[in-house]
Amino acid sequence: MSDAPLMPKATAVWLIDNTSLTFEQIADFCKLHPLEVKGIADGEVATGIKGHDPITSGQIGREELARAERDKNHMLKLQVSKVRLPPMKKVRGPRYTPLSRRQDRPNAILWLVRNHPELKDAQIMRLVGTTKSTLQAIRDRTHWNSASLSPMDPVTLGLCSQIDLDFEVGRAAKDRPAVEEDHGQTLMPAEYTTGRQSHEPSTEAEVFGSHGNKNKQDRDDIDVASVFGRSSN
């Protein structure tokens, strides 16, 4: 078995005192060295340790123990627990800030407040490991050292990583309500405002102008007699 029982040495003490198992069997079950088990039996190791009953704790059955006592070559097998415990969730506590960096924390808070106003108070507190009162004092400019504060990037100061900062900024951007685009009147293109409208003439009057017809009539009234005069007989 790869898993050892609870309190291996205490279990070994109980098995030595209450069973006829060999040192090798006890060592294999408790994941101890055979010489260490022999030292426990001789009183040289684990002195003062009270024995722990593996049967009462449900780590081994009575039938399994009796079988191992009859067969010295049989190794005990740890009984599988029927109760399944849910996996423990890792609770993320407040970020630890080294002592050498704590004096720069207000500057980092001021930088976040100015450059990322979309961040919530809880997000800033997670990034730089500050408290609600300190954050509110910097927002309201009531901090005791407000006059000397200068905004500084928390990533540069080593208070948080760039990945954590981008993650919080992205989360804040998702929570922000979407801004509707303004589809109102827009400026017309320059080709419509500055370009000249081209119009192709379709009639003779448009080509020659209003004087074209008059000149044509004058040309029709001219004949040979009017040009050279009448000849005398």
Whether the predicted model's global pTM rises above the 0.75 cut: no
pLDDT at residue 124, as a whole number: 92
- DSSP of 143-184, one letter per residue? -TTGGG-----HHHHTSS-HHHHHHHHHHHHHHSPPPPP--S
pLDDT at residue number 233: 47
Query: Which tokens belong to 18?
Result: 């209450």
pLDDT at site 22: 92
**What are the pLDDT tens digits along the chain (233 aa)?**
457 888 889 999 999 999 999 999 999 999 999 999 999 988 888 788 888 899 888 888 889 899 999 998 989 888 876 667 677 676 666 667 677 778 889 999 999 999 999 999 999 998 998 889 999 999 999 999 888 999 999 998 888 889 999 999 998 888 766 555 555 666 666 666 665 555 555 565 555 555 545 555 555 566 666 656 555 44
pLDDT of residue 151: 92
Q: How far apart are CA 123 and CA 130, in angstroms?
A: 10
Please report the pLDDT score of residue 45 as a whole number. Answer: 83
Per DSSP, 103 falls in state G
Q: Yes or no: say if 110 and 149 are a contact pair by the CB < 8 Å rule.
A: yes
Spatial separation of the C-alpha atoms in residues 61 and 73, rounded to whole Å: 18
Per-residue pLDDT of 38-91, as tens digits, reads 999 888 887 888 888 998 888 888 898 999 999 989 898 888 766 676 776 766
Query: Which is nearest to 23 in space by CA: 31, 7, 35, 13?
Result: 35
**Phi, then psi, of 157 in degrees rounded to 5:** -75, -15
Which pLDDT does position 14 carry in this prediction? 93
Residue type, 148: S
- What pLDDT is recorded for position 44? 87
